[in-house]
Amino acid sequence: MTISDTIGNIFDFLPETNLIEEYLYNHSGNYPVYSGQTEGQGILGYIDSFIQHLPCVTFTTYGGGAGTLFYREGQYTIGRNCMGLRPKKQYTDKINLKWFPFVFQNLFYRLRRGDIQGQGSLNRLLLERQPITIPDIDVQLGQLEKYQTLESTKQGISGYIHRLTGIQHFATEYPHSAVIAKDKLKLFMRFTGGNSGLTEEFIYHNSPETDSDKIEILTSATLEREAMGFVSQNATISGEKLKIFEVPAILVARNGYAGTMTYIPEGRFTTNDHAYILIPQKDWRDKINLEWFCYEYQKLFFKIVTSRSDNATFNKEYAERQIIRIPEIAYQNAIVGKRKQAADMKDRLQHIENVIDDLLEYAIV
């Protein structure tokens, strides 16, 4: 039997219960309160009583996750920014509520109002008038099996991605016996400042005329390596030649994302005075893998900025006094290789996870 009608004629709406944090604190118990949040399955907390004891589907009515559906069962309460749907008595045995969120999640997202990137809302009156078609229960059960297979596969992939993150951290470890030097950073690495006066106006008036004349400008304003533009390599600033840097090198943000290190493996480039360029001292050029150095000491560089605000500044002199350890180059290279393998695997798994998400957005027939 196929059901074709409006959501309001097929389902009863279960209202929210506005429970404040003080109530949750004073009535702590074992029964979940489901709210409009989407993290942690939407569980706001646990109290010593419940309002609902029959299965339903909840949806977020307000917030960044407006329209998000969850299947609920057991004994529970529906909290703030959340409502429930339960089939009317005549449809109780004709609708599988575990199946419903898979098939209609995309519809509920399309019906929300407001800024997609901000705080959206889902109006009950709009939902009540929305027509839907629900196939026979046997069709629902067949589709549910396929959806659950995809969901189970996705959860397994998510678990592997989490484990790979741990492997990446483990891959940075090396035995104490591998350390060949331990001393102040300035004995191993050298900071060089960028170009003062390399502004957007300067770049505009010194644009390269040919491809062979242009030099890439890297900026510390973003977390990823990104070109600010190109400038003529023959340009001069206040009569001084433009500082051009050879690779490999590390770009260190002086402010903004202060302390952020970006490994630059190829190409010639320049930068402004919002960044330092970090390279090994002459005697250590063949003994330090700069990509490894970024992995190993990024946390240290974040710790030695002057503050955690938007005005944070990286202190070069303080950094130079930090004690660091350098293991044999073979260990550095091995660590970089293992991290790349783990990162590549994570990227492939995340792609598959995204494909599964796309499949789950549409009805399976």
Spatial CA neighbour of 193 closest among 311, 314, 290, 274: 274
The pLDDT value recorded for residue 172 is 66
pLDDT tens track for 284-304: 999 999 999 998 999 999 988
| Position 345 pLDDT exceeds 50 | yes
Spatial CA neighbour of 114 closest among 36, 42, 62, 58: 62
347 with 244, same domain: the answer is no
Question: How many structural domains are present in the chain?
Answer: 3
Spatial CA neighbour of 261 closest among 279, 287, 286: 279
The CATH number covering residue 237 comes to: 3.90.220.20
E strands along 297-363, which residues? 323-327
241 with 227, same domain: the answer is yes
Query: What are 154's two structure tokens?
Result: 């996705």
Q: How far apart are the first and last CA of the chain?
A: 16
192 with 286, same domain: the answer is yes
Whether the model clears a pTM of 0.75, i.e. scores above it, the answer is no
DSSP symbol at 266: S
300 with 209, same domain: the answer is yes
183 with 229, same domain: the answer is yes
110 with 150, same domain: the answer is no
Q: What percent of the chain has pLDDT over 90?
A: 61
Confidence of residue 152 (pLDDT cuts 50, 70, 90): confident
CA distance 176 to 74: 53
SS3 337: helix
Domain boundary among 116, 134, 152: 134
pLDDT tens track for 115-144: 656 678 998 999 999 999 999 999 999 999
212 with 344, same domain: the answer is no
115 with 164, same domain: the answer is no
140 with 206, same domain: the answer is no
234 with 95, same domain: the answer is no
Confidence of residue 199 (pLDDT cuts 50, 70, 90): confident
Weakest-pLDDT range from 34-48, 67-81, 165-179: 165-179
146 with 130, same domain: the answer is no
Weakest-pLDDT range from 46-55, 105-114, 158-167: 158-167
188 with 311, same domain: the answer is yes
The domain in which residue 77 lies consists of 3-134
Distant-in-sequence contacts of 281-285, Cβ < 8 A, 24+ apart:
281/187, 281/188, 281/189, 281/190, 284/188, 284/189, 284/326
